[in-house]
A and B are shown apart, each in its own frame.
Chain A
């Protein structure tokens, strides 16, 4: 019984984290058709910004609970600036080119950001555990869980719902959905697609950075975390369907629970479980669980 509960709780926490990490990636792909390899480093920048903010905040001696605001604020600023600068400074010159060229450009950005982070934060790992400890623990069926980890479930749900509401209930969101469905038709209807691209890419970067910031208190923030995350995020997005928000949710849940179940029941298989699931989905449904087959325009 305890194992079943543990799989449920561990799976939920891990799925929430995967969703936070994959959301920005799938949004960027959905709107801009950009397979953004640099997304992993937006996560890393957010994690580093949050870790630095946590350190500076506790050094200042201010009231402890304010640290969550400091973390989120630092990551948001880093994500917004980085996203806007990259879109305006690099990516807008690449629109209309082959998707493979843009993929290579984002890979170049990934490598540059990796070195920049090494330059700014050095090779040693950063520790930002205080926000995790501060909230205490809750015991579920005799197993203690940090409330911070449990709060990730709520945070992912809020961010997901907020995004869903923005996309489906606001004018700008509907314009964004229109671009996802048909870029050319949206242009003919008067939507400023270039502006939508800027907003989307910046929003995607912000989501990546927030994902990193929320993870910083439970991991060791160190060089290379971006590369690890991007592989997982791609797997989640491939399972759910590229460019689909609902797909990101489904992919996160499938991958998260598969991972948790594997660790508890078949630890030797934990390493490849998510990728095995991805292969299975791609064999049965190449466009992913929620992806739409794209007709070729002639």
Chain B
């Protein structure tokens, strides 16, 4: 009796299981209705909110909405991440590094996000990377520039979809040599933290390698968010260098430009501003004519006219009433990277991709961004390289619009070190293996 009952129960269970499987396969991918919860971390308050945080938050909202609606141009026209809607959770990057790490832990452990996209500050990225690895949390850095992250460590769960600051600075030195070869003396004014220090190290070494006769006359290290540069500008006026190089950003850059203009420094020296593109529209009159402006890649005014970029620019301008600047492009590029990885992971796994599938798909991925193609070629496939663009700024008094002249695009392997080679060693070794044509 008991045996017969057991057989009946087993048979019924097996039948139910088969029916369930068949029904599931007929209904299509079961994961399509789900959501992917992503934590977005950027500056929503503090001095970096205006120039970086808000433009990147705006871009995230724009691209997330488009992905969820399936309204992005090809090849990203398929709805969602592998069919699943993105559920964003925005948090503020402001605060001490300890707070930033604590907030990251909360995102992963309390709010259970599937991935984190974030971080403008190089200090934040350096602090978060080992914690992400420890928590096994898929983390995509979208903007921070220090090359140390993947040069000093190998990470499995951490990616960066923007190129490092090395590219900006090698590009700036190459641009100077190409367009203004007579500029042989230069000085640097950079914030005294990872971003400023790494930027100056790479620019200075690149100048020495490209223009062996060139000389750094002054190296100045104001505090981050110092806002007052009276003594620094006096030093630059005394040194009378041909070029003033700076990786200052945000309000620090605005204040420096205003104070330098009031003391006629731009008449003495040409400015090289690696983040200058962020200021060319909002502070058009403060950027000195003849300044060389970077956009940390071919973004903003340097972005090529592709279908993807045309859509992004038009949609961004329509929704936010301003042109997207490079932090917007960086954020959008990171989200596209995740979408490309989820979709590829789904195709490979033939089911909704697991975290391991997404990581595998994102490693060494090559994909189209809004500004340029992205190649996850460095850091064992976790660090992006892109092309680089620079130009010379002129304010057109007739049209009352800022313009870029003498725009030069550098190929990715002209301004980024080859895989496995540290930036400093590559520059000091005379850019061995660089492909500039």
Which residues of A pack against B, CB within 8 Å?
A: 2-3, 6-7, 9-11, 13-14, 17, 114-115, 118, 122-125, 127, 129, 132-133, 137, 143-146, 148-149, 218-220, 222-225, 227-228, 259-260, 263-264, 267-268, 270-271
Which 5 residue pairs spanning A and B have beta carbons closest together?
Answer: A123-B49, A220-B251, A263-B231, A220-B254, A224-B46
- Of the candidates B47, B231, B262, B283, the one whose C-beta lies within 8 Å of that of A224 is B47
In the bound complex, do residue B225 and residue A218 qualify as a contact, i.e. CB atoms below 8 Å apart? no
In the bound complex, do residue A2 and residue B238 qualify as a contact, i.e. CB atoms below 8 Å apart? yes
A259 to B50 Cα, complex, angstroms: 28
Counting CB contacts under 8 A, is B264 at the interface? yes
In the bound complex, do residue A10 and residue B230 qualify as a contact, i.e. CB atoms below 8 Å apart? yes
Counting CB contacts under 8 A, is B258 at the interface? yes
A222 to B225 Cα, complex, angstroms: 10
In the bound complex, do residue B220 and residue A263 qualify as a contact, i.e. CB atoms below 8 Å apart? yes
A143 to B263 Cα, complex, angstroms: 8
Q: Closest CB of chain A to B254's CB: distance in Å?
A: 4
> Given A223-B45, A271-B192, is A6 in contact with B50 using a C-beta cutoff of 8 Å?
no
A30 to B262 Cα, complex, angstroms: 38
In the bound complex, do residue A225 and residue B47 qualify as a contact, i.e. CB atoms below 8 Å apart? yes
Q: Closest CB of chain B to A7's CB: distance in Å?
A: 8
Q: Which residues of B contact A14 (CB under 8 A)?
A: 228, 230-231
Shortest Cβ distance from B46 into A: residue: A224
Q: Which residues of B contact A224 (CB under 8 A)?
A: 45-47, 94, 225
A17 to B227 Cα, complex, angstroms: 12
In the bound complex, do residue A123 and residue B44 qualify as a contact, i.e. CB atoms below 8 Å apart? yes
- Of the candidates B44, B221, B227, B286, the one whose C-beta lies within 8 Å of that of A271 is B221
A227 to B49 Cα, complex, angstroms: 15
* Besides the known contacts A225-B251, A227-B46, 5 further A-B residue pairs in the complex with CB atoms under 8 A apart: A3-B238, A9-B234, A10-B230, A228-B225, A228-B226
Q: What does the 1/0 interface line of B246-272 toward A look like (CB < 8 Å)?
A: 000011101100110011100000000
> Given A125-B250, A144-B264, A270-B221, is A264 in contact with B235 using a C-beta cutoff of 8 Å?
yes
Q: Which residues of A contact B353 (CB under 8 A)?
A: none
Q: Which residues of B contact A145 (CB under 8 A)?
A: 263
Shortest Cβ distance from B54 into A: residue: A123
Q: Closest CB of chain B to A258's CB: distance in Å?
A: 11
Most chain A beta-carbon contacts within 10 A, residue among B237, B258, B283? B258
Shortest Cβ distance from B52 into A: residue: A123
Q: Closest CB of chain B to A55's CB: distance in Å?
A: 14
Shortest Cβ distance from A2 into B: residue: B238
Q: Interface residue count for B (Cβ, 8 Å)? A: 41
Shortest Cβ distance from A13 into B: residue: B230
Q: Which residues of B contact A271 (CB under 8 A)?
A: 192, 221-223
> Given A224-B94, A228-B226, A270-B223, is A144 in contact with B263 using a C-beta cutoff of 8 Å?
yes
Q: Which of B36-59 contact A (CB under 8 A)?
A: 44-47, 49-51, 53-54
Shortest Cβ distance from A118 into B: residue: B45
Q: Which residues of B contact A264 (CB under 8 A)?
A: 231, 234-235
A114 to B219 Cα, complex, angstroms: 34
Q: Which residues of A contact B51 (CB under 8 A)?
A: 125
Q: Which residues of A contact B263 (CB under 8 A)?
A: 137, 143-146
Chain A interface secondary structure, helix, strand, loop or mixed? Answer: helix
> Given A10-B231, A123-B54, A263-B235, is A220 in contact with B255 using a C-beta cutoff of 8 Å?
yes
Q: Which residues of B contact A260 (CB under 8 A)?
A: 230-231
Counting CB contacts under 8 A, is B232 at the interface? yes
Q: Which residues of A contact B221 (CB under 8 A)?
A: 267-268, 270-271
Q: Which residues of A contact B238 (CB under 8 A)?
A: 2-3, 6, 143
Shortest Cβ distance from B50 into A: residue: A124
- Of the candidates B45, B234, B251, B282, the one whose C-beta lies within 8 Å of that of A114 is B45
Counting CB contacts under 8 A, is B242 at the interface? no
A149 to B238 Cα, complex, angstroms: 18
In the bound complex, do residue A218 and residue B220 qualify as a contact, i.e. CB atoms below 8 Å apart? no
Q: Closest CB of chain A to B309's CB: distance in Å?
A: 24
Counting CB contacts under 8 A, is B315 at the interface? no
Q: Which residues of B contact A118 (CB under 8 A)?
A: 45, 49
Shortest Cβ distance from A228 into B: residue: B225
In the bound complex, do residue B223 and residue A143 qualify as a contact, i.e. CB atoms below 8 Å apart? no
> Given A220-B258, A263-B235, A270-B221, is A123 in contact with B230 using a C-beta cutoff of 8 Å?
no
- Of the candidates A137, A143, A219, the one whose C-beta lies within 8 Å of that of B228 is A219
A132 to B259 Cα, complex, angstroms: 9
In the bound complex, do residue B258 and residue A143 qualify as a contact, i.e. CB atoms below 8 Å apart? no
In the bound complex, do residue A263 and residue B53 qualify as a contact, i.e. CB atoms below 8 Å apart? no
Q: List 18 A-B contacts (CB under 8 A).
A: A3-B238, A6-B234, A6-B238, A14-B228, A123-B53, A127-B283, A145-B263, A224-B94, A225-B47, A225-B227, A228-B225, A228-B226, A259-B231, A260-B230, A263-B222, A264-B231, A268-B221, A270-B220
Counting CB contacts under 8 A, is B218 at the interface? yes
Q: Which residues of A contact B259 (CB under 8 A)?
A: 218
In the bound complex, do residue A219 and residue B231 qualify as a contact, i.e. CB atoms below 8 Å apart? no
